Amino acid sequence: MNDARPNSNHFQKLIDRGVPRTSAARVRIDRAFSIICLGITLIAVLALALLLASILIEGFPGLSWSFIERYASRIPEQAGIKAPLFGSIWVASICAIVALPVGVATAVYLEEFAAKNRVTNFLRINISNLAGVPSIVYGILGLTLFVRMFGLFGPIQNPAFEIGGETFAIYYDSTGEPLRVPVTSRNETPSLTTGSIGYIQDVLDGPDGELIFTNNWTPIPLTIVNGDTKFTPAYGVISAVDVVEPIDYEIQKPWYYVQFPFGQTVLAGGLTLMLVVLPVVIISSQEALRSVPRSLRAGSMAMGATRLQTVFRVTLPASIPMIMTGAILAMSRAIGEAAPILVLGVALFITDVPQSLMDAFTVLPMQIYNWTSRPQEEFRALAATGIIVLLVVLLAFNAIAVLIRQKFSRPLQ
Amino acid sequence: MPTASPQPENQTLAELCGRGRPRRVILRLFQEGTVRGLLVGCAMFSILITTLIIGILAYETARFLQEVSVVDFLTGLEWNPLLGADRHFGIWPLIVGTLLVTLVAAVFALPIGLVTAIFLSEYAPPWLRAILKPILEVLAGIPTVVYGFFALIVITPALQGLGRLVTGENTFGAYSAGAAGIAVGIMILPIVTSLSEDAIRAVPKGLRDGAFALGSTKFDTSVKVVVPAALSGIMASYLLAITRAVGETMIVALAAGGLAQMTVLPWEQVQTMTAYMVQIFLGDAPATGVEYKSSFAVAGVLFLMTFLLTFAGYRILLRFREEYE
């Protein structure tokens, strides 16, 4: 042994070659690295802080109740966010009502029923690919599938199928008031004679001299006069020249009114967002179902329950808290999406809250985009205020979901 | 006892069981079949979506290519569809613009995301993790249009100031690929961090213990053992984040400008594929014109790019999952 021992010089060489740093140096590198790591991690915190600060500084002064109560306007001081706010709520609700059942059902099928074969594998790959498709591409799908329906039912302005709406032709009488005459379709020109019944809108005087347009329409007998007759302004008096063709057509839509194609309506918007978030809902629900212990399923089956009973009474209840978490994330994404809605071609100036599934709408991110893209400072401030409203909506949404989660959340044992 | 009502004592066990059985077996099997059918239908819906997307994009692209030749579209270096008679439909300026913004975002987010993930899983004490994770989740939940606003209000002026400080001239304009790219980078940062962290945490503890037993410091362990072991997962997170950056719309529509040009300079303005689609769909072009159809062709190219990226990411992720299970 002693003979075989190499001289210390040899060891020194080995040490020099194999161990480049002393252990003190390595510890120092370790400390330095941990500090650098912390510093870099703080970039994310800094970004969030800067983001929130810039929004609050720009937008907080404009925040008031009247901002939430007013509609869009070309004058920054009078602009509000009521229509997009309600539009977002409508669209997100439709999206949730459709996406959650379909998404959870798909996840249940994939996790609980599907055999492990090529078809199932293909389904999985397909869903993860769908999750990576940019939202603007879903907008194109929504535009073709829901807004236009491939053009199968005629143009948007003159839908081939309508259920439940009342159509009116619009004229203006000699006082300048709009006058409605009931017709059966959008192409029909009513044959008006003196004595036909039209409808005139009730207008009330507001407290400060403002006019308030009501939804009541009073019947009024029409008087048709010759085109060249001079007449004093009176309700229900129309010149014979104007009778030939109505100015416009209007549809009074009850809540159950449906038209094909949908056009740029709340329903089309909600369904388009459903396409965007569906893969997210499916993937998160799959993960939730996967987290339920096998023993619970085995126990249920051993008691004689069918697969279906096991799913509805054991697996789903156990995974509801996690499914809800995924659903919240998906809905937050739906509320924040602007690109797919933008592709649908929704109108920017909406001055009414949607009343039915077939009403025009806009959403918060669209309005914020519109304001931000204008060069004037005032509109940028409006955009910041709008962002505050959007973030508050998202926060409220998350809070509600956390409450539901806690209510459903039960220990598995 | 499942029911609260008291049972009469003189009932036999068979009678009790009979009361408990709700429906006949045939009915139950029928229900099973129906519900199963519904579930299969829902699952097939996702296939239908994919088919429709591919079908619509292929059909509209084909219609576009009847008016513009494939060669011009795929090899042209000029994109100015709104220039009347002198217009060109060469996709490359849009692709280069998209890649430039993506590159800036990647340079910003990928290293920072990885280091943050290492810090969160290897170094951070539990209390700090409990603070940092929710912050990243909030960052992930912020709508992209808000990042667009942030890019215009904060990042652009900051870059303009920086540019003046360094060169003494106004290098950055009101719109630039750099400002949009950094905003996109902040947007994808949480994606990189959370997916990379998942991959790093999935590395078995035994590997770390082995490294420590050999006298490694935490730095040695993280950099030479843990990160290489989690590399495929990290790569997958990178690919998925890049996919999101390529498809990002609102940030680039607001902050990157509207001039489609071939440039690699981050202070120039560029137009990405998504930003061009926004421009068209917001109504700059009549719905029947060739420029309107061109947006579908651009969407087709975009879909193809993201499809390949996601597919590659998914394959890598699958391989990484198999490694330690």
Confidence grade of residue B12 (pLDDT, cut at 50, 70, 90): low
The pLDDT of residue B143: 94
Amino acid B257 reads: G
User: Is the pTM of the predicted complex or chain greater than 0.90?
Assistant: no
pLDDT digits (tens, 9 = 90+) for B288-308: 788 888 999 999 999 999 999
| Residue B185 reports pLDDT greater than 60 | yes
CA-based nearest distance A12→chain B, Å: 19
For residue B115, which residues of chain A lie inside 8 Å, CB to CB?
Answer: 36-37, 40-41
Check: complex ipTM more than 0.95: no
Query: What is the C-alpha to C-alpha distance for residues A81 and A70, in angstroms, rounded to an integer?
Result: 6
Cβ–Cβ below 8 Å for A105 and B39: yes
Would an 8 Å CB–CB cutoff place A100 in contact with chain B? no
pLDDT band, residue B4 (cuts 50/70/90): very low
pLDDT band at B309 (very low <50, low <70, confident <90, very high): very high
Judged by average pLDDT, the poorest of A8-17, A63-72, B42-51, B257-266 is A8-17
In this structure, chain A runs to a length of 413
User: How confident is the model over B229-245, as pLDDT tens digits?
Assistant: 898 889 989 999 999 99
pLDDT at B55 (0 to 100): 96
**Residue showing tokens 């990379």:** B196
Q: What is the pLDDT of residue B22?
A: 53
Out of B42, B141, B278, closest to residue A106 by CB: B42
Among B136, B143, B306, the residue with its CB nearest the CB of A44 is B136
The pLDDT score that the predictor gives to residue A389 is: 95
Q: Which of residues 11-40 of A touch B (CB under 8 A)?
A: 23, 26-27, 29-30, 33-34, 36-38, 40
pLDDT digits (tens, 9 = 90+) for A306-325: 888 899 889 998 898 889 88
CA distance A172 to A372: 38
Q: Which residue in this structure is represented by tokens 């416009």?
A: A248
Residue B16 burial (CB < 10 Å; 0-12/13-18/19+)?
A: exposed
**Class in CATH terms, A67-153+263-408:** mainly alpha
Average pLDDT of each block of 10 consecutive residues along chain A (413 residues)?
Answer: 56 60 81 91 91 93 86 81 92 94 94 88 91 94 91 80 82 82 81 83 71 77 79 79 80 80 91 95 94 91 86 90 86 92 85 83 93 88 94 87 72 50
Burial of A407 (0-12, 13-18, 19+ CB in 10 A): exposed
Confidence category of residue B72, pLDDT binned at 50, 70, 90: confident
Residue B325 has pLDDT above 50, yes or no: no
Rounded CA gap, A157 and A263, in Å? 8
Between positions 312 and 351 of A, the ones with CB within 8 A of B are 329, 332, 335-339, 342-343, 345
Q: Does A247 touch chain B (CB under 8 A)?
A: no
Residue A326: its pLDDT value, please? 87
CA-based nearest residue to A60, from A397, A396, A383, A408: A383
Mean pLDDT, chain B, as a whole number?
Answer: 86
Confidence grade of residue B287 (pLDDT, cut at 50, 70, 90): confident
pLDDT at B162 over 70: yes
Rounded to a whole number, what is the distance in angstroms from the first to the last CA of chain B?
Answer: 41
Q: Quick one: tokens of A311? A: 């799913």
Task: Check A44 against B278: CB less than 8 A apart.
Answer: no
Local structure of residue B67 (DSSP, 8 states): T
The answer to whether the peptide bond before residue A261 is cis (omega within 30 degrees of 0) is yes
Q: How confident is the model at residue B68 (pLDDT cuts 50, 70, 90)?
A: confident
More confident residue, B321 or A116: A116
Say which residues have a Cβ less than 8 Å from residue B169's Cβ, sequence separation at least 6.
B163
Per-residue pLDDT, B3: 46
